[in-house]
Structures are given as structure tokens and as C-alpha cells.
Amino acid sequence: MESATAAETAAMPRGVAHLKDELDIVIPTIRNLDFLEMWRPFFQPYHLIIVQDGDPTKTIKVPEGFDYELYNRNDINRILGPKASCISFKDSACRCFGYMVSKKKYIFTIDDDCFVAKDPSGKPINALEQHIKNLLCPSTPFFFNTLYDPFADGADFVRGYPFSLREGVPTAVSHGLWLNIPDYDAPTQLVKPMERNTRFVDAVLTIPKGTLFPMCGMNLAFDRDLIGPAMYFGLMGDGQPIGRYDDMWAGWCIKVICDHLGLGVKTGLPYIFHSKASNPFVNLRKEYKGIFWQEEIIPFFQSVSLPKDCTSVQKCYVELSKMVKEKLSKVDPYFDKLADAMVTWIDAWDELNPTGSSAAKVANGKAK
């Protein structure tokens, strides 16, 4: 199995760049972004927000012809001041700073080791185009359709599906998958070091209401207006007791809030080609507390019930932070610190996205 080459993607016919003025691409990185060359036909029409992790004195090279802004740790500290403490350092969780400073309605985020995948016919996959399709079509979280996404070409609602639910709900999150290197935890990496994902499943599913999922941040798109303030990737990396749970934490938070507000989360297409496996021993050192903690974190999120007066994402998230402090601080003092950082994140978000912006004006939905 191999990814598409830059030449193969360059040979693709240039289609319409949908939502060109309404979508930012957020990329966290510690290295030169040569990988953008293979994505050029798909990404070049869009604005990039690059969040440089690690040493702010290092120069990150970006291929010519891309429209981008780049933020390093010095920029984060300058823009957020004391509130910069909520943004992780030496961890890809810093990407959420890009979500905060964006002024667009939609966000697509990708890692710099994710290349263009090919479909079973050998055609390069425009992952961004599929994410946009997912976000612009309704979700169906209240009743499962056995033909998967009823809004996809060649599909529909099956016999027995309630007509009252066929309108669906707005889609807040599109979660894509990966060919080649699967997104495994360290223990699974260690026992299956040569395993590769070669299965291309041509399907998009709405994750049912009341069901959590393990969200991966390396091929992810979302409606910033609908769910942006909850897309906080937590405190990870330098000075923290845990890593590689940044996207997991955000996924659990956004799912319970989407369920409460009547919003949808999709998973499946599009695929990217995940090019390299991270070191399982390094990963184990980052993950090992989380592997124990998740056995208590997940039941906590499964039991979350947000008050009906939480009618905005911000209100939901602040309420959730209170529950984290009350219920999870007994697991480890880290969660007390994380709960405080969740509130700081919302304060910083509102400061950079004041009332009157599209994010503040959007109707987030009704409590269910």
C-alpha cells in the first residue's frame, strides 16, 4: 500500500474549491511542511493556520504558493497573555489555538505525517472535499439507518425509518479515518507492530446519540460556529502527566454536548494515508496513566446529564468543567487543573471571539 504522489495529485482535474472563503486548515507541526506539496491541488485555494510546537526560534519552511499564517509559542503567549497556560506545549494539542484564532465557519485539521490516500480504483482522495460533504449534509443521531448515511449517493432511509426523523439535524463534526498506520494505543502497537489498515470501507455513519467514540485529531473537520468552543484539546505534553489523550478528551466533551444540543457527529470517509508509526515505547510513557484513567473517565462521560438551561456550547462546556472538577479530581489532581484550564479556554475563546461575531450569534440548538 502506498500514498498518492505529488505528481498524481497534480494530474487530478481541478474542481471547485467549496467553502473556500469559509474554511481554515489548521496544522500543528515541529518540522518543515514539505508534505503540503502532495496536498497542493486540494489545499492551495484555502487559508492555512500553522501552529508551531516546540522551539519558537526554529524556522518552519512552508512551500511557496500557500496562503498561511504561522503562530509559535511566543505568539500564543503574546496573544493570550496569562490565559496561554491553557494551550499545551510540546504536544500536538496546541492545534486548538488555531481553532480559537480562526474567523471562519469551518475547520479542517490534519497532521503533517498524513498523506493523500488512494481509493480502491487508485484515484487520489480529496479528503477535504468529503469532509465538506459530511458537514453540509444532516446527521441522524436519533435512529440508526442500516444503509448508513441516507444522504449519500445511491442511499436513502430504509423501510421502517420514522418519517418524523428524516429531516435529520445539523452536522457539527466529521471524523475521518486512515489507511496504512492505524491509530492504535501503545499496547496494541507493541503486540501488532506490523499491522497495517488496508481496508477501505465506503461508508459514513452518524454516531448515535448516547454513544461515545475515540476521536482522532489527525483527519478531522468541524463546524466552528456549532461546536468550536468545545474543541479544546486539554492539557497535554510538557509539564503534564499524560499525553496522546488530547483528541480523546475533546471527542468525549463534544459528543456529550452535541447530544445535549441536538447536533450530529459523523465518522467514516474520508481516508488519509497515515505515513509513519510513532514510537510505541514513547507512546506508552505518555499514555500509561490515561489507559488506567479512561476506565473511570468514560463512565463519567456516559453519566453526564447537562441542565436544560445550558443552551449554548460555552454554557455546556463550563458546566462540564464543574462536573470534571467534582467527579474526576478524586481520580487524580490533574483533573482539578484540567477543569480550571477548560474555563480559561472558554474565557480566552470569548475574548478573541466577542459577542457579535458569527460564533456568538449562532443558534446552537435546543437542549434535548
For residues 209 and 263, give the distance between their C-alpha atoms in angstroms, rounded to a whole number: 9
Whether 362 has a pLDDT exceeding 50, the answer reads no
**Cβ-count burial 74-103 (b if 16+ within 10 Å, e if not):** ebbeebbeebbbbbbbbbbbbbbbbbbbbe
Residue 364 is predicted with a pLDDT of 38
Cα-based distances in Å from 331 to 252, 317, 325, 336: 17, 20, 10, 10
Say if pTM beats, i.e. exceeds, 0.75.
Answer: yes
Q: What is the pLDDT of residues 80-115, one digit of tens each?
A: 999 999 999 999 999 999 999 999 999 999 999 999
Q: For residue 274, list its beta bridge partners.
A: 114, 180
For residues 27 and 238, give the distance between their C-alpha atoms in angstroms, rounded to a whole number: 19
Residue 53: closest CA among 94, 19, 17: 94
Mean pLDDT value of segment 225-234: 98
For residues 247 and 201, give the distance between their C-alpha atoms in angstroms, rounded to a whole number: 23
For residues 193 and 324, give the distance between their C-alpha atoms in angstroms, rounded to a whole number: 35
Q: What is the pLDDT of residues 234-247, one digit of tens each?
A: 999 999 999 999 99
128: confidence class by pLDDT, cuts 50, 70, 90: very high
Q: Which cell numbers in the block locate residue 1?
A: 500500500
Residue 205: closest CA among 180, 179, 174, 168: 174
pLDDT averaged over every residue in the chain? 95
Residue 365 is predicted with a pLDDT of 39
Residue 368 is predicted with a pLDDT of 39
Residue 1 is predicted with a pLDDT of 81
The answer for 254, left when phi > 0, alpha when psi is -120 to 50, beta otherwise, is alpha
What percent of the chain shows pLDDT beyond 70? 96
Contact 230, 250 (CB under 8 A): yes
Contact 352, 93 (CB under 8 A): no
Length in residues, the chain? 368
For residues 207 and 70, give the distance between their C-alpha atoms in angstroms, rounded to a whole number: 34
For residues 130 and 175, give the distance between their C-alpha atoms in angstroms, rounded to a whole number: 11
359: confidence class by pLDDT, cuts 50, 70, 90: very low
Mean pLDDT value of segment 306-333: 98
Residue 288 is predicted with a pLDDT of 96
Residue 174 is predicted with a pLDDT of 99
Instruction: Specify the amino acid at residue 15.
Output: G
The answer for 206, left when phi > 0, alpha when psi is -120 to 50, beta otherwise, is beta
Mean pLDDT value of segment 185-197: 97
Beta strands in 207-281 (DSSP E): 219-223, 264-274
Say which residues have a Cβ less than 8 Å from residue 79's Cβ, sequence separation at least 6.
71, 101, 352
For residues 114 and 124, give the distance between their C-alpha atoms in angstroms, rounded to a whole number: 13
10 Å CB burial of residue 160 (0-12, 13-18, 19+) is exposed
Q: Which cell numbers in the block locate residue 206?
A: 452518524
For residues 339 and 343, give the distance between their C-alpha atoms in angstroms, rounded to a whole number: 7
Task: Point out the least confidently predicted range of 22-26, 174-178, 274-278.
Answer: 274-278
Residue 356 is predicted with a pLDDT of 55
Whether 357 has a pLDDT exceeding 70, the answer reads no
For residues 217 and 233, give the distance between their C-alpha atoms in angstroms, rounded to a whole number: 9
Contact 237, 28 (CB under 8 A): no
